[in-house]
Amino acid sequence: MLKSRLQFLALTAAGSLLAACSGTAYRNSADSETYAAIAGKADLVPGMTEEVAVDEQRAVDLEGMPVNSLSFEFLGDSAGSEINSSVLGLNDALDLAFRHSKDYQTRKERLYLEALSLTLDRYRYAPIFSFNSGGEYQWDMDDQFVTDMENLTGIDTPTQRVTASSSEMYQADTSLGVRYLLRGGGSVALNLTNNLRRFLSGDVSELSTGALIGSITQPLLRDFGTAIETEALLQAERDLLYELRNFTRFRKSFAVQVASSYYNVLLNRETTKNNYAGLLANNLSLERERAFQVEGLRTLLDVGRLEQATLQQDLRWTTSIARYQRSLDAFKILIGLNAEDAIILDDNEMTLITETGMSAPELDLDRALDLSVQTRLDLYTELDQVQDASRRIDVAANALEPSLGVTLSASVPASGNGEFGDVDFDNAVYAAGLDVEMPLDSKAERNTYRRALIDYEAATRAYTLALDNVKLEVIDAWRRMDEAGKGYDINLASVEINERRVEEAELRAELGLGNVQDTVDSQNDLTAARTDLVRSIVDYNISKLEFWRDVGLLYVDDSGQWEEGIDEPR
């Protein structure tokens, strides 16, 4: 008894250890198949990355980046808040975003799950093995185990049990099988069973039965043919391809989003600088006008007008500080940093696009429209989905057919010698059958068929609409580039004009000949023109990125760096 208990505990411990190890093994097996499925289709999608691991957890590391040591007066009470902050260039921000962004991680997981689902659809057409085994031990009331328990507990055996017969018996059932689905709609199954019963007391005897059973089934009308049977697998294969295209498209859009947010943070920072410069200029004017008032050269009304203008400029400056800080915080979350991470963005990036960022794409609009139809991955998916809808019509039509299937089977009994797997082929039993089912009630199938026809028309319209939308996106991006380009020219001229206005207004004011309203207006217009000039530069560069993305010619590498142009990078 003690030996049996020790064996039981050993088996339990071994089973627990096996279960603990199997979790890791299953995970590794799933990853291996899933990533292989992704890699097998990656070459079909231009621009697809190899960096798709979903469990790669990397801590954010800002070490090695430049550290700011300056205090910025234009930030007011927050002037010292950016001391010791890491300075992020655009390339650094893109790299961090593609490694740590939560949105990016979610899209990788979506791709992984689509590929994981495909592995199960593929598995359906592989040989599927099964093994079942069970056993039980039986005894009557006078069994030695019962007697031992009565002695232990002190419970007497009932009188009527003395006359009962004593016997012990164990039985075991074992089944080993394999099933294989055929791509033509049929299936092959093979099963080997063995049942053993042995009496251990009384008349010692042993009874063993078993059989080798094989069968083949094949539909002849409904569910017949590779196109019908493997439709689910084919759709799963195509769904993974679609998700690869979606992921690649997302990577391009995400790179543009990060760059756009980066430039907008710099724009808000530049706006804060301009508003602060405008406030300083207003303060100087106000100080001068107050001095003139003391001398009787200005009225209280004139000074009051300038005071009001200064208060308004102070409010614009304060608001711009808050807007800049909020946009910087939102940018940190976008690229996967924590809210408390101290960073600032590199002002040199704004200087760079100011000097070189107004170059136009080297292709005209008509050429861009033609290229977008050839390169947009989402447009290919829309076209493929029309084909999917067409196939579903054939599948739905097949479901309206009668069910006619043939079955062939063979059963080979055990030889009777008690050895597992030893069968007697001389006594095999063979059978052939034909199953027929007429679709007397096929309303559900009828509705499915009609729905498939409508879905096909809807998919066709969706493709046509997507084609138009792609063209409109390219045209709109082109227009926004043109608008921002013209805005840049106008704002550049506006800055020059307002600088002359401010200079003249200041000169006249110093001579006591100026008009306070002219001073206020010229300074406010100069501040606004400088901000609008920077905004037009940012808008143009963002529009150009969106243009290349919408044409389908923006290529993004594993670290988020992009190249734009007609030729795909090597």
Give the CB-side neighbour count of residue 332, counting CA atoms within 13 A.
Answer: 18
pLDDT of 164: 44
Distance between CA atoms of residues 570 and 565, nearest Å: 12
Distance between CA atoms of residues 546 and 479, nearest Å: 11
Between residues 132 and 231, which one has the greater pLDDT?
231
pLDDT of 411: 87
The full set of domains in the chain, from first to last, is 22-125+231-398+445-564 (1.20.1600.10), 141-182+186-222+403-437 (no CATH)
On the question of pLDDT at 202 being above 70, the answer is no
Query: What mean pLDDT do residues 46-75 have?
Result: 88
Distance between CA atoms of residues 111 and 188, nearest Å: 33
Rounded to the nearest angstrom, the gap between the alpha carbon of residue 271 and the centroid of all alpha carbons in its chain is: 35
Among 26-35, 274-283, 424-433, which stretch is predicted with the lowest mean pLDDT? 424-433
Between residues 419 and 493, which one has the greater pLDDT?
493
pLDDT of 296: 77
Burial class (CB in 10 A: 0-12, 13-18, 19+), 465: exposed
On the question of pLDDT at 9 being above 50, the answer is no
Using CA atoms, how far residue 67 sits from 311, 339, 500, 515, in Å, is: 35, 18, 38, 46
Q: Residue 337, SS3? A: coil
pLDDT of 468: 96
Contact by Cβ (8 Å): 153, 167: no
Q: What is the DSSP string of 230-296?
A: THHHHHHHHHHHHHHHHHHHHHHHHHHHHHHHHHHHHHHHHHHHHHHHHHHHHHHHHHHHHHHHHTT
Q: Which two tokens stand for residue 100?
A: 């740590």
Contact by Cβ (8 Å): 299, 389: no
Between residues 449 and 291, which one has the greater pLDDT?
449
Query: What mean pLDDT do residues 180-206 have?
Result: 75
Distance between CA atoms of residues 211 and 104, nearest Å: 55
Query: What mean pLDDT do residues 178-184 have?
Result: 90
Q: Where are the alpha helices (DSSP H) in 182-230?
A: 226-229
Distance between CA atoms of residues 527 and 525, nearest Å: 5
pLDDT of 305: 85
Q: What is the per-residue pLDDT across 373-427, written as a single tens digit (0 to 9) for each?
A: 999 999 999 999 999 999 999 999 999 999 999 999 988 887 766 555 566 777 8
pLDDT of 5: 43
Q: Which residues contact 81 (CB under 8 A, 6 or more apart)?
A: 75
On the question of pLDDT at 6 being above 50, the answer is no
Among 10-19, 200-209, 382-391, 418-427, which stretch is predicted with the lowest mean pLDDT? 10-19
The pLDDT mean for the chain works out to 85
pLDDT of 145: 56
On the question of pLDDT at 139 being above 70, the answer is no
Query: What mean pLDDT do residues 27-44 have?
Result: 94
Q: What is the per-residue pLDDT across 453-481, written as a single tens digit (0 to 9) for each?
A: 999 999 999 999 999 999 999 999 999 99
- For residue 414, give the DSSP letter: B
- Which pLDDT band, with edges at 50, 70 and 90, does 570 fall under? very low
Closest CA to 139 of 111, 115, 171: 171
Q: Which two tokens stand for residue 556?
A: 């993004």
Helices vs strands, H then E, count in the chain: 12, 10
Radius of gyration for the alpha carbons in the chain, expressed in angstroms and rounded:
40
Q: Which residues contact 369 (CB under 8 A, 6 or more apart)?
A: 471, 474, 475
Contact by Cβ (8 Å): 483, 403: no
- Which pLDDT band, with edges at 50, 70 and 90, does 344 fall under? very high
Instruction: State the residue for tokens 């902050």.
Output: 85
Give the CB-side neighbour count of residue 435, counting CA atoms within 13 A.
Answer: 9
Distance between CA atoms of residues 543 and 547, nearest Å: 6
Closest CA to 532 of 507, 506, 501, 497: 497
Q: What is the per-residue pLDDT across 96-109, written as a single tens digit (0 to 9) for each?
A: 999 999 999 999 99
Query: What mean pLDDT do residues 64-76 have?
Result: 93
- Which pLDDT band, with edges at 50, 70 and 90, does 2 fall under? very low
Between residues 89 and 56, which one has the greater pLDDT?
89
Between residues 568 and 98, which one has the greater pLDDT?
98
Find residue 168's DSSP bridge partners: 139
Q: Which two tokens stand for residue 228?
A: 């019908």
Dihedral angle, C-alpha 289, 294, 298, 300, nearest 10 ° = 90
Query: What mean pLDDT do residues 55-61 have?
Result: 78
pLDDT of 427: 80
Query: What mean pLDDT do residues 184-206 have?
Result: 72
Query: What mean pLDDT do residues 339-358 have?
Result: 86
Instruction: State the residue for tokens 């001229």.
Output: 493
Instruction: State the residue for tokens 């059958």.
Output: 433
Q: Which two tokens stand for residue 421?
A: 């797997």
On the question of pLDDT at 511 being above 80, the answer is no
Query: What mean pLDDT do residues 519-528 have?
Result: 86
